[in-house]
Each structure stands twice: as C-alpha cells, then as structure tokens.
A and B are shown apart, each in its own frame.
Chain A
Amino acid sequence: MNQKTFFQAFRRNKLGMAGLVIVLLIIAIGLAAPLLAKYPKGYGRNIEAPPSQANWMGTDNLGLDVMSEIVWGARTSVYVSAMAVLCAAAIGVPLGLVSGYFKGRVGGFIDSVIEIFMTMPMMPLMIVIAAIAGSSVTNVGIVIGILSWPSLARVTRNATLRTSEMPFIEVSRSLGVSKPKILFKHILLNIIGPVMVNLTLVMATAVLSESGLSFLGLGDPNTWSWGLILKKAWDSGALLKTPNPVWWWLWPSVAITLYVVSFNILGNAINDTLNPKTR
C-alpha cells in the first residue's frame, strides 16, 4: 500500500483519528511546555486549593499549580517514551531482521537471546538498573528502551521470516542486491506496519513504566512527571485525606490513562488500516 491510500483509509477510522489527535496534542503540549506554563518550583500561596480561575486544576500541598505540573509532566513523558522507542528500535529492529533473514545458526542464536530477555521480569529489573544507573530522565528512558526491545525484535523477526520467503526477495538476490539493502530496504519497508504498531505500544508502556518508577521514587526527583505528582500526593497522604484534594491525584492519573489508551488505539488503528481485511 502506498502512503496516500494509507492515510485515506486511516482517516475513515474514527477511533484511530481520535487516538492520533490526542497523541499529537500531548506531544505538542510536551514540546511547548515552556510556552504554556511556568516551571513549578518553590512554594505557592494557596495550599491544596480546589480548581479555580487562577489554578484550573487546583494546587498541591506546596501551593504549586497542578496544571503546570501536568504540562511539564507531559514533556517528560514524551521525552522518556521517545528515548525508549529509539533505544528499543535501535536494538530490536536490526536484531529481528537479522535473525529472521539468516535462519540458520545466527537466527537461532538471536532468537534464544530474545527468548531469554522475554522471560525476564521487566519491572524488578528496571528498578535495579534504574537504581544503579541513577535517576535522570534520560537514564530512565534508556533503561525502559533496553528492556522493551525483545517484543519488538520478536515481531520484527516473525514478519521478516514471512517476507524473506517472498519471491521478490529472491529476485533482488538474483540481481546481486546486497544483503544490507535487502534487509533494510526491501524487507523493512514491507514489514513497517507491524513494527510501527509495536513501536506505539512501546511508547505507551514506556510512560507506564516511567510513572511506576517515579512513583516508587526511582525517577528523576528534579523533573516533573505524572508519576512524580502521584508520588508526592501519596507521600503527603492526600489520597486518604478528608476532605480529599481529588484534583491533585486525579488529573495526573487521567493524563497517564489518556496517553496509554490513545497510543494503544493508534496502534490498533494502524494495524487495522494496514490489514486489507479490516480496512
């Protein structure tokens, strides 16, 4: 399918378009954070104030604007997930291509490595590595990326196995086309659909993982993220208080959910659009 027909078909998928719009919106907010809100630091005057004209999403226990925190949190989320996707793609896609194309010993070896990594429990490992590597946003992104490549590699491998058997690959070989070109041009362009879908899933899980790490105190304490807002709310006992400052923990939760759900919907929509049966 070429690009034009892909977008035409994608536009008909209402849910997918909604997912795309939300994803783009969050990315835009993250990129434009310095223009949208002042970086929340220090102390504010109104503590745990409910939503008002001045603070649309209320304030936290230090009197800082929750909406500014969410906006800057979006920046962190986008940064971390982009970082994670880059790492996962840089490791997972080439390994998947190579193991799928060279079926013999090389492919089998890489496949076993993928399997070993897939059996590893992700969260505990992430906690250990994040604790050792130190808690900067970049480190967290890289750690998540390094731990989410196996599923990407597996998807790439399976798609490559199928595509490398296609006659047009043999035609390329019969014309003397080099192996790297066959792999990264002829095969990769053919399997870009499932790979893209998996990348959107990595984007979504990256934010979940980052929030989890931040909530456990293993994130970067100096950079606002949605997980960090939740951690601060939890640490101050805001979740059990009556009257409850709902706005403090509700909005970051909504933001995380929205981000993850939108990326999942987007991935599904891309998949459906690429599959002629569900287009």
Chain B
Amino acid sequence: MPDILRFDNFRLDLQDDEGRRYNLLDDISFTLPEGKALGIVGESGCGKSITSLAVMRLLPAAARVTGGSVSLKGMDLMSKTPKEMGDIRGRDVAMVFQDPMTCLNPVLTIGLQIGEAIRRHNPQMAEPELKAATLELLHKVGIPNPEKRMKNYPHQFSGGMRQRTMIAMAIACSPALLIADEATTALDVTIQAQVLDLMVRLKEGGSLMFITHNLGIVAEVCDEVTVMYAGQIVEAGTVEEVFLHPAHPYTKGLLLALPTLRSKGNTLYNIPGVVPTVRNFTPGCRYAPRCDYKLPVCSERKPARCVLNDRHHAACYLYEEVMA
C-alpha cells in the first residue's frame, strides 16, 4: 500500500527574537498508509500541532526546518513554492481545527465560506452548480434545512454545527488527507461522538490524521498511533499493539492515567512533572527527567528506535537488549 504521508527524519527549530535556536521536532519519522487513520497523541506542548502544520506548510514565522523531508502523495512539500502550496492546500490536504467558535469568519455567511472552499479548486464552476455543491456538502455533514442555513452567519450556529461546517469546508475538494487537530476537543461528548463518526464516514477512502490527547478517540477511530513527547517520537505502532502492550514508560504512564471501570475509588496514576518548554529540553531522551525507569545513559544519548515487532517500535533504552 503506498504511503499518503511520509515524514523522514524531519527536524525543526524555533528561533527566538535574539536569534537563538531551540530544537523542537527531533528526527520525526513516520508514515501514513493510504486509507488508514493515524493518531498522534501526547500532552499539550509535545509538538503534535506543529507536526500537522508542517504538512500544511503553515508553520509559525519562528520555525526553521533544519533537516529531513515531508512528502505527501510522493511530493516533497518543503521544496514547493508558496503558490504550489496554495494549490495543494484544500485539494490534497485539508485540516479541521480545534476551536469551532473562532474558526469561521464572523462576517461571512456559512454558504459563502463553504462556497469559497469549493471554488478555490474549481474556479470554472458556475454559480448554480456552486450553490448545489454547497447544499450537498451541508447535507452531507448533517446540517438540517441547508437551504435556509447557508444564509446564516456563524454566530447563529451551535458549536457542533460550526464544527460540521468546518468539516464541510475541509472535505469540499475531497482531499486525500484530512488532518483533524484536536477537532473534537471543544465539543461536548455526545456531539464529539457525532462529529468523529462524521469524519470517519466522510473520509471516503482518503486518509485521516488525528491530533489529539484523547486516547479514547485514538482507540475508537485510528488504525495506527504515534506517541510524541517533547518533539520526539517515543513509540509508534498499530493501535492494538501500542494500547495492549505499551512499551515506552511515557505511553504506559498515559494509559495508566486513564480512568477505567475497575479503577473506581482508587487514585489515578499521574506522570510526575510537566512537559518542559522548548527552551528547557534536556539532551538524550527528553522524557528522562520524568521517567520512573530512568537509566544513567538516558540523559546522555538519545535512545535509538527499537523495533519490537513489525507493527510496533519504541525509542527507549529498556528495549536495547531486544535489538541486540
């Protein structure tokens, strides 16, 4: 199966106003096979969102790509001109963002905003066709009474409906890859379930990339999962492998912190400390300061990627002997 998205040793630094550079993404490598759903999990500040923005080439001004490559459908994204990127965005890859309240332009009608997303890659489309396509999209994402609703402004929509609208805009040109960056975090659980269901249903053979810190969502909708910590990939594999046999201490900690039906009455595990900011990343394994299984070597050298089996690998010294 060909890969729709491929990160190869992608490195990215952040540069502050004084010109000092801090490494944020450290050798990010993963692939997303066509038609699959990949979850990227980790706490806030682990570089999940910046990874997805790298796919869109919408990185903040302070970001500097220092190595590696990102390829989408075999195209090297980092070598594209801004104009070529404009053609790729929306057509080959689209994104659903986190906050439905601020992600729609408050002064334009819903219909206009969806129409614009369609027109961008179908410039020759006539007005009646455009309207029909807009109505169809609204219908697809389950907005009742689309004929009337397309004339509404965003403030007349509820959070769930706005997120549906966002999805409609994202899938307007049937992108091969749909990225959902915490797309359901701001919604309440019932709406969350509906919106998730919608995204999975509407990907239509395309691939999905879920950025989330909700492990439940990953278990529910993803085929593969990549666990990130402080800009490094600590563990990756199929959802089944990673969730049933977590290898990296960070992944174990994340899973232990989840409430289960049996954990009633007991205090949940919590990983001590917080994710360091990019200025305070430590050499070696960045998780070492918080790790319960820390070895002396952890803070000296970055652990290599250890293949546990053909569907599972982790970057941790605890598994070096498995390699050897």
Residues of A within 8 A of B (CB): 1-2, 103-104, 166-168, 170-178, 181, 185-186, 189-190, 192
Contact = CB atoms under 8 A, between A and B. Distances in A.
Q: A-side binding surface: helix, strand, loop or mixed? A: helix
Contacts of A181: 116
B105 A170 contact: no
A186 B103 CA distance: 12
A1 B94 CA distance: 28
A177 B116 contact: yes
B99 interface: yes
Interface residues of B, number: 30
B89 A176 contact: yes
A1 to B, nearest CB: 8
B254 interface: no
Contacts of A186: 105, 108
Interface string B53-97: 000101001000000000000000000000000111111001101
Contact of B169 (A103, A167, A171, A178): A171
Given A168-B102, A175-B94, A103 B61 contact: yes
A1 B103 CA distance: 16
13 contacts: A168-B104, A170-B58, A170-B97, A171-B97, A172-B105, A173-B58, A175-B170, A176-B86, A176-B87, A176-B120, A178-B86, A181-B116, A190-B107
B283 interface: no
Contact of A189 (B56, B86, B102, B108): B108
B89 A173 contact: yes
A140 B148 CA distance: 50
B40 interface: no
A174 B108 contact: no
B187 interface: no
Contacts of B116: 172, 175, 177, 181
Contacts, number: 70
B166 interface: yes
B105 A176 contact: no
B91 A176 contact: yes
Contacts of A173: 56, 58, 89
B61 A167 contact: no
Given A2-B153, A190-B105, A174 B95 contact: yes
Nearest to A173: B58
Contacts of B91: 176
Contacts of B94: 174-175
Contacts of B98: 167
A215 B298 CA distance: 82
Chain A to chain B: the 9 pairs with minimum beta-carbon distance, closest first: A176-B89, A176-B90, A175-B90, A167-B102, A168-B105, A189-B107, A174-B95, A167-B103, A176-B86
B259 interface: no
A107 B107 CA distance: 25
B169 A175 contact: yes
B121 interface: yes
B97 A175 contact: no
B104 A171 contact: yes
A117 B81 CA distance: 36
B304 to A, nearest CB: 35
B59 to A, nearest CB: 11
